[in-house]
Structure 1
Amino acid sequence: MPSHYQVLVIGGGTAGIMVASQLIKQKNRTSLAIIEPAETHYYQPAWTLVGAGTYDYESTARPMASIMPKQATWIKDRATGFDPDNNTVLTAGSGDITYDYLVVAPGLAYDFSLVPGLGDAMDKGSVCSNYTDPKHTWDVIRNFKGGTALFTQPATPIKCGGAPQKIMYLAENHWRKNGVKAKTDIVFATAGTVIFGVPEIKKTLMEVVNRKDINLRFHHKLVALDADQQIAWYELTKDPSAGGCTLMAGDDFKQLEGTFVHNFKDVKVTVKDGRYGIHYDMIHTAPPSVAPKFIQESSLVNEAGWLDVDKHTMQHKKYANIFGLGDVAALPTAKTGAAIRKQAPIVVDNIDKLIGSEKMGTKSYNGYSSCPLVTDYGKMVLAEFDYDNNFTPDPKLKQMLISDSSKEHWRLWILKKYMLPYLYWNKMMQGEDV
């Protein structure tokens, strides 16, 4: 196996495979290698549906070998570090590998130390996450007998920021059908200040929340989990005393309707040492997420520990022959596969132009991302937006007879469950620009 490549890609996830496939298919670059240790590639957007019992987990997995571009060299190894001044990537077992151009797309990693108690409890008993074990999520939801159902998320950036609420809407639908809803208080606790940052989508989701009678709690930063006592501990990111009261008990939240709380439910709480504990009977959360350790410890990151790239070109801010995209990149937009779909062609164009003429391409990424928000079995809203949170629906939706994707529609559910997985495996992973 050679130790030098014209283009070296770190990561065999959505971003790495898309860039590699497009470089080979559209630009005929053959001196290209992908560093990726995993044997299996997952279509993770379907894990929301797996967690709701309406998609087969095995169908989300394909052997990594089956989606690796045939002309690429697969280095089945882990990248462990960088020497960017000498165009070198260090690996665990394959020695040093050099490159002309580097694409950094290893995704993100989970750091459970950021929420003490969560790592030991994750995917056990009543603690579940579609991010780590969606089959366990479905077990928790279908075996739930009532009480406080808490849906929450850490304050770190996470994959698909809408995912922690999607499963909540589907769980409510399931519990409504089987009679458990009448014995249940559903709480959504988030460090955010609104249910969704795009005004058109927020309007629809607030209607969904009201229809489902869900208690929203804002300014709640998840800081610890006590699985034995079944308490999720929060720090409040805004001082509630500014609202005219000191927070001593759950009842005080009634006075904060409209700022801290919406659809108040008198669930059991404990206030201790300045922290606010919500008692739960089941909890769904996302793991606290960070860049992989070998990225954080490199000279390629910004102060927040994410890959430091230009938000329009994806070129590294210090090293002109390094590009980064996907979840690891310090881009101020949602970390989704849909965002990668728009980022990859720009990285490909820039590398191709640099190889051919030593000049960058002229394409610019506007921060496009998309979050398919399932609101019931058979209903979905499609949030598409840019860096400025402008609602930017794809004109192609008109071909599906969808005039307003900010409203719930059954055709959007069909898109999510059937069309997007097909497009992913048969178009995006094959290097087609879709």
Structure 2
Amino acid sequence: MVRPFAVWLRQVVWNAACVTNVTEMTHNYAYIYEIPKIILQMSTHHQILIIGGGTAGIMVAAQLIEQKKAKDVAIIEPSDTHYYQPAWTLVGAGTYDYDKTARPMSSVMPKKATWIKDRATGFDPENNTVHTAKQGDFTYDYLVVAPGLAYDFSLVPGLGDAIDKGVVCSNYTDPKHTWEVIKNFKGGTALFTQPTTPIKCGGAPQKIMYLAESYFRKSGVRPKTDVLFATSGTVIFGVKQVAKTLMKVVDRKDINLRFYHKLVAVDGEKQIAWYEMGKDITAGGCVVMSGEDDSECLDESFQYNYKDVEVSQDGDRYGIHYDMLHTAPPSVAPQFVRESPLVNEAGWVDVDPKTMQHKKYPNIFSLGDVSSLPTAKTGAAIRKQAPIVVDNIDTLIKTKHKGNKSYNGYSSCPLVTDYGKMVLAEFDYNNNFTPDPKLKNLLIKDSSKEHWRLWMLKKYGLPYLYWNKMMKGKDV
């Protein structure tokens, strides 16, 4: 597009310089007045169009540009600020400055990328078009869909009204409020839980629990506190080596685990979190609630390290009374993605799990949170996904065929277990423990065990790598 335009402009200027009468001059100047309109029309088409200025979008754009694999990259992103959200766990525990997790979006936007400061509103993949809220339509040769998650509080009635107020908190939405809740906690039932929807970093709801428990000991309220973790899952973590370590942490910290607990509602006024059981109850109510006479009939697949906290029953629902509640918001793909022809039945962009190429539209890719990839939604996963998307697009441009690289589902979850201790869960699609060989450079033999060096990696190493390597298109 640039070359023909340059030729046309040169011709217009030459013609204007060679005019011999007013009529001819008017005719040629009319073309010059059309230049802004033509430039505008040209700027609405991009070789590679990326939706989302989060970790996934910036990484793909930066690598394409850094590796000189694209001539024209544009990013649709309405936000002014880019956040390093993995540090919000530490912010919620009072050991990281929230302001350091935020930087201007302009500072991470690749210099050679076109920033379309607008909000995407829809797709027309048959015509290679993306609709936006203010600037109209944009067309593309290749599209990367990575806008991040949206929150749908209607999936857990009452939670939207209660979250980030009083004793209900979430590191996902306001980690500074989480820290205030933990600091001001005076004892009682500290409930940590999560919805059944996919969430950013599935281990985050328990990370803050381990840190909060440590702070409760420091503040002197631990002896009069019951710490509960209620989850719809059946185990503490899906990777066996990591789960073994975490169960030792649970024992050390005297935490009550409650499995098969599907969060369905929150009563903020009465401070009750309501659950439905994900498994048939065969022994009556005592499998999830117990008194002095019936504690022996507790079903251990529902409970581990039982604590006799107050529980109400309403039909087939069980309500845990809390004095503080931390949870993650129920998460979905943004509405403009869910209502598009790009998604599968579950509402996620329907891509091949190995190539991240759309199953119907070969010039569309998706990675990160909104993709249908059956792995954890973490920045560490994106670190491995982005190079494969970049390679596929590069090969498609050059040969009309996708690349040969394959994504194995790698993701990792830095599980902070205490102030100064961390476990690094790295795994693939099959939940195989797959530690990064580079960890040996940190003198870490087994990252499935707690280690202070992993804590240093979490607090100092990973933020540095994020801002200075990942966001710059460097291979890490």
> Structure 2 counterpart of 1:410, which letter?
W
Aligned partner of 1:104 in structure 2 is 145
Among 46, 63, 67, the alignment partner of 2:108 is 67
Matched with 1:432 is 474
Alignment of 1:279-428 (within 5 A): 279-428=321-470
Q: 2:241 aligns with which of 200, 205, 217?
A: 200
TM-superposed CA distance for 1:367, in Å, is: 0.3
Q: Deviations over 1:145-167 (max 9, x none)?
A: 00000000000000000000000
Larger Rg: 2
**CA offsets 1:314-344 (integer angstroms, 9 cap, x no match):** 0000000000000000111100000000000
Runs of 4+ in 1 over 2 A off after TM superposition: 244-249, 252-258
1:410 Cα shift?
Answer: 0.1
Aligned partner of 2:97 in structure 1 is 56
Residue pair 1:15, 1:344 contacting (<8 A) in 2 also: yes
The alignment status of 1:250 with 2:289, answered yes or no, reads yes
Matched, 1:29 2:70: yes
Residue in 1 that maps onto 2:61: 20
Listed as ranges, the matches of 1:96-245 within 5 Å are 96-241=137-282, 244-245=283-284
1:81 to 103, 119, 122: 122
**CA separation in 1, counterparts of 2:443 and 2:226?**
37
In the TM superposition, residue 378 of structure 1 has moved relative to its aligned partner by 0.1
Q: Distance in 2 between matches of 1:103 and 1:255?
A: 53
Check conservation: 1:102, 1:321, Cα contact below 8 A: yes
Q: 2:79 aligns with which of 32, 35, 38?
A: 38
Partner of 2:312: 270
Instruction: Tell me the SS of whatever aligns to 1:27.
Output: coil
Could you list the per-position Cα deviations for residues 258-306 of structure 1 after superposition, in whole angstroms to 9, with x for gaps in the alignment? Answer: 3000000000000002100000000000000000000000000000001
> Aligned partner of 1:29: which letter?
A
Counterpart-to-counterpart distance in 2, 1:253 and 1:5: 65
For 1:57, the aligned partner's letter is Y
The separation in 2 between residues aligned to 1:398 and 1:257, in whole angstroms, is: 42
Identity of aligned residues (%): 76
Structure 2: which amino acid aligns with 1:277? G
Tell me, in whole angstroms, the C-alpha distance in 1 between the residues paired with 2:140 and 2:256.
52
Change (3 A) 1:248 1:325: closer
Quick one: distance in 2 between partners of 1:235 and 1:228? 20
Counterparts of 2:370 and 2:278 in 1: how far apart (Å)?
26
| Distance of 2:346 and 2:68 partners within structure 1 | 34
SS at match of 2:350: coil
Cα offset, 1:31, TM superposition? 1.0
Distance 1:62 1:192 in 2: 35
Secondary structure of the residue that 1:240 maps to in structure 2? coil
Q: How far does residue 249 in structure 1 lie from its aligned partner after superposition? A: 7.0
Gaps of 5+ in 1: none
Distance 1:51 1:235 in 2: 28
Aligned partners of 1:249 and 1:270 also within 8 Å = no
SS of match in other structure, 2:173: coil
Displacement of 1:245: 3.5
Q: Distance in 1 between matches of 2:296 and 2:163?
A: 31
Normalising by structure 2, we get a TM-score of 0.90
- 8 A contact 1:116–1:223 mirrored in 2: yes
Query: Is 2:287–2:302's contact at 8 Å kept on the other side of the alignment?
Result: no
**Contact kept in structure 1, 2:288 and 2:299, CA below 8 Å:** no
Q: How far apart, CA to CA, are the structure 2 residues paired with 1:305 and 1:112?
A: 16
The structural deviation recorded for 1:27 is: 2.5
- Number of residues of Structure 1 aligned to a counterpart in Structure 2: 432
For residues 278 and 238 of structure 2, the distance between their equivalents in structure 1, rounded to whole angstroms, comes to 18
SS at match of 1:317: coil
Aligned mates of 1:400, 1:262 — CA distance in 2? 35
Deviation at 1:53, TM superposition (A): 0.1
Q: Structure 2 CA distance, aligned partners of 1:214 and 1:233? A: 20
The offset of 1:253, in angstroms, is 6.7
Report if the CA contact (8 A) 1:30-1:72 is conserved: no
Q: Give the structure-1-normalised TM-score.
A: 0.98
Distance of 2:286 and 2:344 partners within structure 1: 37
Aligned to 1:151, the other structure's residue is in SS state strand
The SS at the match of 1:132 is coil
Q: Which moves more between the two structures, 24-33 or 128-137? A: 24-33
Matched, 1:9 2:53: no
Preserved contact between residue 281 and residue 287 of structure 2 (Cα < 8 Å):
no
**Counterpart of 1:258 in structure 2: which amino acid?**
E
> In the TM superposition, what is the alpha-carbon distance from 1:409 to its structure 2 partner?
0.2
Q: 1:274 to 1:343 in 2, by over 3 A?
A: same
> In structure 1, what residue type is equivalent to 2:473?
G
Distance 2:147 2:369 in 1: 8
Return the letter of the residue paired with 1:158: I
Q: What is the CA distance between 1:311 and its match in structure 2?
A: 0.3
1:248 is displaced (CA, Å) by: 8.3
1:234 shift after superposition:
0.2
Structure 2: any 5+ residue segments left out of the alignment? Answer: 1-39
| Counterpart contact for 2:287–2:299, Cα < 8 Å | no
